[in-house]
Structure 1
Amino acid sequence: MKVLLAFLVNTITNFFIGLVVAKFLGPEEYGRFALAFAIAVVVQTALYDWLRLSATRFYSERTRDSAPAVRATMDASFLGVTLFLFLSTGLYALIGPELDFESDLILLALLTATANGLFDYSTALARARFHDHAYGRLLFVKNALALVLIGGGAFLFHSASVALAGGVASLFGTVLFTRAALRDPGAPFRAAELQTTKWLVAYSAPIVAAHLLYQAMPLASRSIVASVYDFAETGQFSLAYDLGMRAVMAFGSALDVLLFQIAVAAHEEHGEDRAKEQVARNMSVVFVFLLPACVGLWLVMPSVEALIVPGQFRGPFGHYLGLLLPGLFAMGFMSFGINPVFQIEKRTAPLIVAAVAAVVVSLALLFVLPWGRDASNLAIAQAGGYLAALAVTIYYALRAQPVWPSFWDVFAALVATGVMYLALAPMRAFEPGFFTMLLQIGTGAAIYGVMVVIFDIAGLRSIALALLRPLIARA
């Protein structure tokens, strides 16, 4: 639970920092910031994400003692990949053609990719060992530094470059400050093994390839918006996508922080059949929480815009996010509900097929949908691609996963969400504000929560009672 609390605090802080950056940069400069950050995410995914995935799946207290080559190989690989990136960047600067984007922003994007890759790898190591204290300290230090360096840089200089530089400094500073807690004295570089590298890459490569295609989609969308419209419209489009995706992924990740490691532990201790049963339970929990969260976000959108979205972004923010939300739900459920089926089996090739389907459907929609005064067609195309990916992922998972959530859990969650929607939809016309949002959230949570308790959807009532009994007994 400490890990979950730390994660939630991190999520709230990231939201606040994102809003501060958008407010003080403004749409045009935020558009540059968002485009550079999208480049960083693509580079990080391509070069470093396999280390995070490998640490989450194969590193643990048991392997730390019994197989030190795993940690040594991952550490040595991070260093090797970073050297490759910087040598390639230097070579391109000498002989490569000039790019149609500010060179300082590209360089900062590459530094951001390395810093974020190191931070994500470090947090994955802490999570894999259930090292709650180290995980919480990493997030706390990162958030404190980011608030000062990124938010302060945007406030003082109104510059995308300064904000990105602040992000790089905060990430590197965090890892340096907390490095002692994550050291493995028994895993020096010389213990690294080429065969272990091949094994880790073989597991991670399909997932990384799929993630890379998904991350390339927002990068392509932002580039197209900047070319067809301008950086200001890129900023409007990007803030809606960034905050919406961050909300959905944070919600799913908060569950995944606990659920996936439980499934991995079940696999290690009891075998594949028990792990698949746990994955099915996890799938139910993710669906039961994520669906009403996404519907609820749309319902409270007017108040969210009025209360927290910077004035320069209001209107376009709600419009774009409303178009993107179905696709964002699909990405969240696929990432944290369905994909663990393949991760537990170490058979991740279907994820690439799903990602290719997303790209193909997005491109097809982009050619079919008409162009207007804004980038609505790009938002619809991107959401449509994510929905197609979810459909393909479910198709392959049905063939691989013998145990699935009960039909009743899925049906009951749909009905409960529908009842919540019918109750809250009239409130969307209320005057946007804090009390309206509080009324909507309280009413929605009460309605959905009562139905979950009455019908024990996904076994959540039973889990809650099991947690409460010791507290009641002590009282």
Structure 2
Amino acid sequence: MTVFLAFFLNIVFNFALGLYVASALGPEEYGRFALAHATAIAVQTAFFDWIRLGATRFYSERARSAEPGLRATLDFGFAAVACAIAVGAALLFLSGARFPLSNGLIALALAVAFANGLYDYYTALVRARFHDRLFTRLLLVKNVLTLALMGGGAFYFQSAAMTLAGGVLSLAGSTATARAALRDPLSDARLASLPQARALMAYGLPIVAANLLYLSIPLANRAILAGLYGFSETGQFSLAYDFGAKAIQAVGSALDIVLFQIAVATHEQRGAREARRQIGRNMTIVLAMVLPACTGLWLVLPSVERLIVPAEFRGHFSALLTLMMTGLFCMAMIQYAISPIFQIEKRTLPIIVAALVACVVDPALIFLMPRASGAAGLAVAQAGATLASLAALVIFAGAARPRWPRPRDVGAIILANAVMVGALYPWREASPGLASLLAQVGLGAAIYAAIVLGADVAGMRALAMERLRPKDRSRLSAKDGSKTRPDALS
């Protein structure tokens, strides 16, 4: 629960900081920042994410002592990739090639990719060992430094470059504070193994390829907007997408950080059959949380736009985010509900194929959209592509014979969501503001929770009651028997 809360608050902080940066920079400069930052995330995903995935799936307290070569291989792999990117960047700049972004912004984007990749790798190591306090400390230090350096850079300089530089410094400062705590005494660079690196790549690279393909869609759409309509239109599109994506990720990834580790531990300790059962229950929980999050965000959009969206973005913001909402829901289900089926089974090729479906559908829909549709047309195309990808992945998952959510649970979730919409929709356009927002959130949460807990969807009622009861015993770790049992949510 500590990890869930810390991760959730971290995403909420990033979400609020993104709004502040957009307000400080304005649409045009924010468009440059958003394109550079999206480039950084794409580079990080392409080159560093297989290391994070390997740590999440295979590193543990047991592996730390029994397989010291694993950590050495992960460390060496990160250093080798970082050096290769530095050399490649130098050659790129010397070639004289020109891009929509300046060379300075591209260099800063690569620095963000390195710093964020190292930070994510460190947090994956901490999560894999269930070190809740160290994980929370990493998040806290990073957020304090980000607010001071990245937020300060946007406020004082109103420059995309200085904002990115502040982000690099904040990430570097956070990882520096945890380096000593994360050192493995038994690990030595000489233990790094090429066969082990190949095995880690074989597991991680298909997932990386799929994630990169998914990231390429909004990145390409931003570049298209910048080329056809200018950076101001790119900024409008980017804020709506970034806001919606972070809001849904605040729910989905906070669940995933707990649920997937439990599924991994269940597979390691109790076998594939029990792991499939846990994955099925995880899917139900993700659907039960993500669906009302997307629906609720749409219901409160008028109040959200009035209260926290910068004035230069209003109007465009709610219209674009409404068009994107289906795609955001589908992406959350792909990442946090369906993909774990293949990750646990170590059969990740279908994830790539489903991502390729999205990459084909997106440009096809853009081609069919009227040229004058601008950012709205690209938002529709992006949502349609993600929906097609989810449909393909569900079909592929059927061949793996997973434990799907019970129809009774799915029906209760859909019913609860429909009742919530019926109760809150009349308020959607009526006097948007703080009072309306608080009333909508409170009433909607109460209605939805009453129906879902009343139906005991995925056993969440029993779990909620257990959390309310006083504890007289400590939890055992899902991996090493010290903190959280693998069946804590099973």
List aligned pairs for 1:72-471, cutoff 5 A: 72-372=72-372, 374-470=374-470
| TM-aligned CA distance change 1:110 to 1:472, over 3 Å | closer
Distance 1:401 1:174 in 2: 42
Q: Is the 8 A contact 1:341 1:401 kept in 2?
A: no
Distance 1:243 1:189 in 2: 41
| TM-aligned CA distance change 1:184 to 1:472, over 3 Å | closer
Q: Is the 8 A contact 1:338 1:397 kept in 2?
A: yes
Distance 1:21 1:256 in 2: 27
* Letter in structure 1 aligned against 2:120: D
* Letter in structure 1 aligned against 2:259: L
| TM-aligned CA distance change 1:168 to 1:66, over 3 Å | same
Distance 1:317 1:471 in 2: 46
CA shift at 1:366, angstroms? 0.7
Q: Deviations over 1:119-146 (max 9, x none)?
A: 1111111111101111111100100000
SS across alignment from 2:372: coil
* Letter in structure 1 aligned against 2:151: G
Q: Is the 8 A contact 2:255 2:286 kept in 1?
A: yes
CA shift at 1:405, angstroms? 1.1
Distance 2:472 2:435 in 1: 33
In the other structure, the counterpart of 2:480 is: none
SS across alignment from 1:181: coil
Distance 2:402 2:88 in 1: 46
SS across alignment from 1:470: coil
Q: Is the 8 A contact 1:264 1:344 kept in 2?
A: yes
* Letter in structure 1 aligned against 2:264: V
SS across alignment from 1:187: coil
Choose 421-430 or 456-465, whichever is displaced more. 456-465
Distance 1:96 1:61 in 2: 48
Distance 2:146 2:76 in 1: 27
Distance 1:121 1:471 in 2: 33
* Letter in structure 2 aligned against 1:451: I
SS across alignment from 2:179: helix
Distance 2:365 2:84 in 1: 37
CA shift at 1:45, angstroms? 0.7
Distance 1:251 1:437 in 2: 19
Distance 1:95 1:337 in 2: 43
Distance 1:172 1:358 in 2: 34
Choose 172-181 or 145-154, whichever is displaced more. 172-181
Choose 286-295 or 370-379, whichever is displaced more. 370-379
| TM-aligned CA distance change 1:296 to 1:193, over 3 Å | same
CA shift at 1:455, angstroms? 1.1
CA shift at 1:173, angstroms? 1.0
Distance 2:373 2:365 in 1: 17
* Letter in structure 2 aligned against 1:452: V
Q: Deviations over 1:82-134 (max 9, x none)?
A: 00000111122223423342111011001111111001111111111101111
Distance 1:96 1:81 in 2: 23
Distance 2:168 2:472 in 1: 47
* Letter in structure 2 aligned against 1:446: A
CA shift at 1:372, angstroms? 2.0
Greater percentage in helix: 1
Runs ≥4 residues deviating over 3 A: 469-473
**Number of residue pairs matched by the alignment:** 473
In the other structure, the counterpart of 1:57 is: 57
CA shift at 1:183, angstroms? 1.0
SS across alignment from 1:400: coil
CA shift at 1:436, angstroms? 0.2
RMSD: 1.3
Q: Are residues 1:29 and 2:54 paired?
A: no
Distance 1:71 1:458 in 2: 36
* Letter in structure 2 aligned against 1:312: E
Q: Is the 8 A contact 2:12 2:250 kept in 1?
A: no
In the other structure, the counterpart of 2:482 is: none
What's the TM-score once normalised by structure 2's chain length?
0.95
Q: Is the 8 A contact 2:93 2:103 kept in 1?
A: no
Distance 1:387 1:472 in 2: 46
Distance 1:449 1:307 in 2: 26
SS across alignment from 1:405: coil
| Structure 2 unmatched runs, 5+ | 474-490
* Letter in structure 1 aligned against 2:90: G
Q: Deviations over 1:410-439 (max 9, x none)?
A: 111011101110111101021110000011
Q: Deviations over 1:130-173 (max 9, x none)?
A: 01111111100100000000100000000000000000111111
* Letter in structure 1 aligned against 2:354: A
Q: Are residues 1:46 and 2:56 paired?
A: no
Q: Is the 8 A contact 1:134 1:182 kept in 2?
A: no
Distance 1:198 1:471 in 2: 44
| Structure 1 unmatched runs, 5+ | none
Distance 1:373 1:329 in 2: 23
Distance 2:332 2:385 in 1: 13
Q: Deviations over 1:326-348 (max 9, x none)?
A: 00000001100111100000110
Q: Deviations over 1:327-385 (max 9, x none)?
A: 00000011001111000001100000100000111111111121225311100000111
Q: Is the 8 A contact 2:36 2:101 kept in 1?
A: no
Distance 1:68 1:270 in 2: 24
* Letter in structure 2 aligned against 1:147: L
CA shift at 1:471, angstroms? 5.7
Distance 1:200 1:409 in 2: 36
Q: Deviations over 1:264-286 (max 9, x none)?
A: 11011111111111000000000
Choose 21-30 or 5-14, whichever is displaced more. 5-14
Distance 1:244 1:100 in 2: 25
CA shift at 1:16, angstroms? 1.7
Distance 2:462 2:185 in 1: 43
CA shift at 1:255, angstroms? 0.4
What's the TM-score once normalised by structure 1's chain length?
0.98
Distance 1:374 1:314 in 2: 16
CA shift at 1:472, angstroms? 11
